[in-house]
């Protein structure tokens, strides 16, 4: 007579959920084969976002670039969920994009590009967490009508554009922000209305 334990429905559901989550990530080879547009000057983009948001580990920065690679909108937020799931990351990125910039779903071909910079502990080598962010960025861009752009990690060793092999030592996770003049990335104007905003808009136009 043989004794055994049949897997419970809860255990089966947990295994199924785990397997599904594991598919919601992109390997570096998949990312490289997806035709992600290359940044002309990645260090300028990284330095500009670092100066604006001053990220610490577990901080994600999503930015929307125009065809000239100027930042049109950006938002930063801290990763709070414990699980590494591209679907959750997609929802977080989509919420930020909807907050800071209108969608481009009416355009037949996207003209704006979203990039993601993620500040984390560890070294620059790809992790499953990176793969989940890649999946989330690609899906969020599709749902918001944007081109999917670069995924960049920022660690204490420096920054790295994953899938491209380009990177640098500065800025890094512990470095002080560079002045905007050095990064050549002008600060975004406040989105509030009123006389103060009008003065800022006129000053920026000069």
- pLDDT band of 159, cuts 50, 70, 90: very high
Q: What are phi and psi of 142, to 5 degrees?
A: -60, -45
**pLDDT over 90 at 80, yes or no:** no
Which tens digits make up the pLDDT trace of 120-134? 999 889 999 999 999
Please state, rounded to an integer, the average pLDDT across all residues of the chain: 81
User: What pLDDT score was predicted for residue 147?
Assistant: 96
User: What pLDDT score was predicted for residue 179?
Assistant: 67
When mean pLDDT is compared over 23-37, 145-159, 165-179, the highest value belongs to 145-159
Contact 173, 156 (CB under 8 A): yes
| Sheet arrangement for strand 166-168 | 71-78, 59-65, 113-119, 147-155, 158-161, 166-168
**pLDDT over 50 at 117, yes or no:** yes
Tokens of 115: 């990039």
Q: Distance (Å, rounded) from C-alpha 197 to C-alpha 14?
A: 51
**pLDDT over 80 at 204, yes or no:** no
End-to-end CA distance of the chain: 88
Over range 111-126, report the average pLDDT.
94
Q: Distance (Å, rounded) from C-alpha 15 to C-alpha 86?
A: 17
Q: What is the pTM of this model?
A: 0.77
User: What pLDDT score was predicted for residue 76?
Assistant: 97
Q: Tell me whether strands 71-78 and 147-155 are parallel, antiparallel or unpaired.
A: unpaired
Of residues 165 and 94, the one with the higher pLDDT is 94
CA distances from 87 to 52, 80, 118, 134, 178 (A): 27, 14, 16, 11, 34
Contact 118, 60 (CB under 8 A): yes
**pLDDT over 80 at 11, yes or no:** no
Residues 6+ apart with CB under 8 A from 48: 71, 180, 183, 184, 185
């Amino acid at each position: 007579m043989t004794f055994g334990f049949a897997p419970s429905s809860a255990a089966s559901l947990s295994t199924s959920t785990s397997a599904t989550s594991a598919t919601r990530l992109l390997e570096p080879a998949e990312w490289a084969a997806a035709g992600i547009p290359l940044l002309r000057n990645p260090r300028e983009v990284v330095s500009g976002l670092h100066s604006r948001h001053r990220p610490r580990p577990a901080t994600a920065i999503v930015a929307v670039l125009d065809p000239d690679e100027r930042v049109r909108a950006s938002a930063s937020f801290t990763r709070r969920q414990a699980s590494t799931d591209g679907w959750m990351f997609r929802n977080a990125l989509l919420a930020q994009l909807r907050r800071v910039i209108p969608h481009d779903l009416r355009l037949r071909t996207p003209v704006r590009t979203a990039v993601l910079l993620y500040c984390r502990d560890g070294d620059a080598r790809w992790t499953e967490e990176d793969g989940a962010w890649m999946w989330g960025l690609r899906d969020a861009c599709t749902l918001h009508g944007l081109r999917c752009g670069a995924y960049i990690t920022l660690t204490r060793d420096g920054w790295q554009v994953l899938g491209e092999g380009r990177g640098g030592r500065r800025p890094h996770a512990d470095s002080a922000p560079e002045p905007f003049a050095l990064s050549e990335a002008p600060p975004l104007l406040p989105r509030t209305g009123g006389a103060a905003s009008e003065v800022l808009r006129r000053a920026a136009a000069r």
